[in-house]
Structure 1
Amino acid sequence: MISQSGPQRYISDNKAYDELPGFMNKLKVRTVLFLHGEKSLAAAQPYLPAWPDDVKVVDVPFGGECSFEEIDRVKAIADENDVDMVIGLGGGKVLDTSKSVTTGTHRYLVLIPTLASNCSPWSAISVHYKETGEHINHNIYLETANLMLLNPKVILNSPIEYFVAGIGDTLAKFYESELIFEQLPEDQYTVALTISRQMANNCKAVLLKNSIGAVADMKAGRLTPRWRQIAETIIVMAGTVGGWGDDYGRASGAHAIHDALTIFPATAPHLHGAKVAYGILVLLAIENKVDDIRNLLPFYHKLGLPTNLADLNLGGIADSDIEKIATAAADPSTQMHFVPTEEPITAEVVKNAMLTVEDVTAAVEE
């Protein structure tokens, strides 16, 4: 088991970005590749310090997907300009692309999240997609970021749907690891696994207690301790689950459902965390925890997270299409294989679980 706890240095403060020039100076950085989303840059710009006069900045707008084509494009620009540091500013796909560009090189990596939508800023993982948005795979790297800067004011003013999706993605940290930890013999618990499990439990407890209020705070533009706790739970606490727990705390069944859903373009408008949230329900059905599904539904409804196929723009899809999702999710190459069940999780098991979710959610809504 390998633990990677997170960035080498993490700063969360309304003036966090001000640390950047001094950090570059101490590392004697002379050329920076600045990869960013356009909307993210506009949001962060009022808080960004001036670039040092002795640093050349290569400005690179993000292409839109963390695809191998985009990674190769950015790598070529970095090589051409003999870049010392890559700064990624934006959402998870920008940050994952930045990680993919710097891994295995001499280049320093700085991550500046402008959304609280997942734990990408904390993790050493990049998730790769086709240019169409269909999931390909994920890679776990040897390195973590040299520096991660979080400005709560920037994230508070980000689109609310990303924050809600982040809550869904982070809730999965508990449900995807719970059964794994439950079945782990006590004599195999290391301190790292104890930290991982505690953080997974904390994710669930904090989110279920404070998410509804935090969303209300965000809608009202209030930077409250409650809102900040949820934002940092999504980015930091969630990242420590897999960071400390390795395969015991990694994404599993709910993310396998998400990945399979990306086959269908109709689901593209729904963010990563929203699809993962639906995947939690399917995972619980696979584990025969129907009462847990019922208990979560009021929380999902208050936040607007998807609870069935119709909510994912797949209402009325053919039985063969449900089988296609189930087959993709149950493939041995997916993260579904992390789910510890007595019998293998087949496409039929996943399909039946999806239909169970349909029945349970329909009964609740009647």
Structure 2
Amino acid sequence: MADTLIVRAAPQEYICEPGSWDGLEQHLERRGISSALVVRGGRSWEAAKGYFPEFKRVEIQFYRYGGECTYAERDGIASEVTRLGLQSIIAVGGGKVSDSAKAAAALLRIPVVILPTLAATCSAWSSLSVMYDKAGTMVGFEVYPHSNSLVLLEPQVILDSPPELLVAGIGDTLAKWYEADAIIAHLPSPSEEIALAHYAARRCRDNLMAHSAEALAAQEAGELNDAFVRVVETNIMTAGLVGGFGEDYGRTAGAHSIHDALTILPETHRLLHGCKVAYGVLVQLVLEGKQEEVVRLLPFYEKIGLPAALKDMGLDGLSRKGLLRVAARAAEPDASIHRMTTTFDAVTVAGAMEELESLVAAIRVRETVAASC
């Protein structure tokens, strides 16, 4: 853990309401910003461009994000801003677009504005970037001393996004509780900052367990309702508050170590971040000896489509050697799994993954038999 806990609780300003993107130019002008580079994705931009406002006074240039949040991508965005002499960066897209834009803005020490098109991570809220190599393997993360200048959340844009991305966001956000609790619950006297992180993490779990199914049904029907907006804000805002207040005590533990380890397998690069994290939650629970919580969570996973076993991710053919390779990566000395109170090695992690396979298989067989009676 860091010796000094630094609170980076929130963006400077945040608005969540239909039509929130319409005031973007005015928000820039209030900040004295007269020019910006819009960093956008591909498919996400096609879905969102109809909501992006026209500008009459602020100069806007566009940059197509390259597909991965790498240091080279960061440098490319920064070079474009410098070449054009622009004052700020606007990210329109998902988590990796936001992380790339934040990284470039931090490098140049200029404001960054986030317009999320997905609710798959809390990237729009947080003042950090998860960095990958060009092959999609996670290599680390960067934490910044400046908050995002502005986040404008347009719920209708998220409603129009692919449902599987919201499911992934639910998986990633659910982990906030299980990872934060694994770190914080054993502290004899948590500081007020850490207590707030713990509360926000619990709020993540409670909101998602209560509202996710209804939110996904609303998205399928194309209807904007309270459950949908609540889940979206939980994935972006409430999740961001966990790390924002708790820093290392509210960020990642075992579940994200499993995610990071899975990224060494090329066949997992097609899988969404939150789905791998959701699987990691169950592995972490087995490591903690909380198999009963796995049993409690499995119906929720099944209902909304989160993976609970290697087969669900297309990895049922993973050999024992491959399993140990993943487990060794998860248990590397600097891995976040070691923020938990117990020290885990590769053999222990691999054993937990194998135990999870057996546990999930047994539950599913039992449910199949019960359904046929």
**Counterpart in the other structure of 1:21:** 25
Structure 1 stretch 132-141 or stretch 154-163: which is displaced more?
132-141
**Counterpart in the other structure of 1:348:** 347
Q: Which whole-Å CA distance do the structure 2 matches of 1:170 and 1:113 have between them?
A: 16
User: For the aligned residues, what is the CA RMSD?
Assistant: 1.1
1:95 counterpart (85, 90, 98)? 98
CA deviation map 1:308-366 (0-9, x unaligned): 1111121121100000000000001211121122xx21111111110111110110111
Q: Which whole-Å CA distance do the structure 2 matches of 1:201 and 1:140 have between them?
A: 24
Q: Which whole-Å CA distance do the structure 1 matches of 2:109 and 2:125 have between them?
A: 20
Q: Give 1:177-326 correspondences, 5 Å limit.
A: 177-186=180-189, 189-326=190-327
Q: Which whole-Å CA distance do the structure 2 matches of 1:177 and 1:141 have between them?
A: 21
Q: Which whole-Å CA distance do the structure 1 matches of 2:214 and 2:270 have between them?
A: 25
Runs of at least 5 residues in structure 2 that lack an aligned partner in the other structure:
366-373
Q: How many residues align?
A: 361
**Counterpart in the other structure of 2:51:** 47
Given that residues 84 and 106 in structure 1 are in contact (C-alpha distance below 8 angstroms), is that contact kept between their aligned partners in structure 2? Answer: no
Q: Secondary structure at the match of 2:89?
A: strand
CA shift, 1:30, in A, is: 2.6
CA shift, 1:104, in A, is: 4.5
State the identity %: 39
Task: Normalising by structure 2, report the TM-score.
Answer: 0.95
CA deviation map 1:221-262 (0-9, x unaligned): 111101110110000000000100111111111011001101
Q: Secondary structure at the match of 1:103?
A: helix
Runs of at least 5 residues in structure 1 that lack an aligned partner in the other structure:
none
Given that residues 78 and 107 in structure 2 are in contact (C-alpha distance below 8 angstroms), is that contact kept between their aligned partners in structure 1? Answer: no
1:165 counterpart (145, 157, 168)? 168
Structure 1 stretch 26-35 or stretch 56-65: which is displaced more?
26-35
Structure 1 stretch 104-113 or stretch 274-283: which is displaced more?
104-113
Q: Which whole-Å CA distance do the structure 2 matches of 1:47 and 1:259 have between them?
A: 34
Q: Secondary structure at the match of 2:238?
A: helix
Q: Secondary structure at the match of 1:59?
A: strand
Q: Which amino acid aligns with 2:9?
A: S
Q: Secondary structure at the match of 1:34?
A: strand
Q: Give 1:104-183 correspondences, 5 Å limit.
A: 104-183=107-186
Task: Normalising by structure 1, report the TM-score.
Answer: 0.96
Q: Which amino acid aligns with 1:49?
A: P
Q: Which whole-Å CA distance do the structure 1 matches of 2:307 and 2:30 have between them?
A: 47
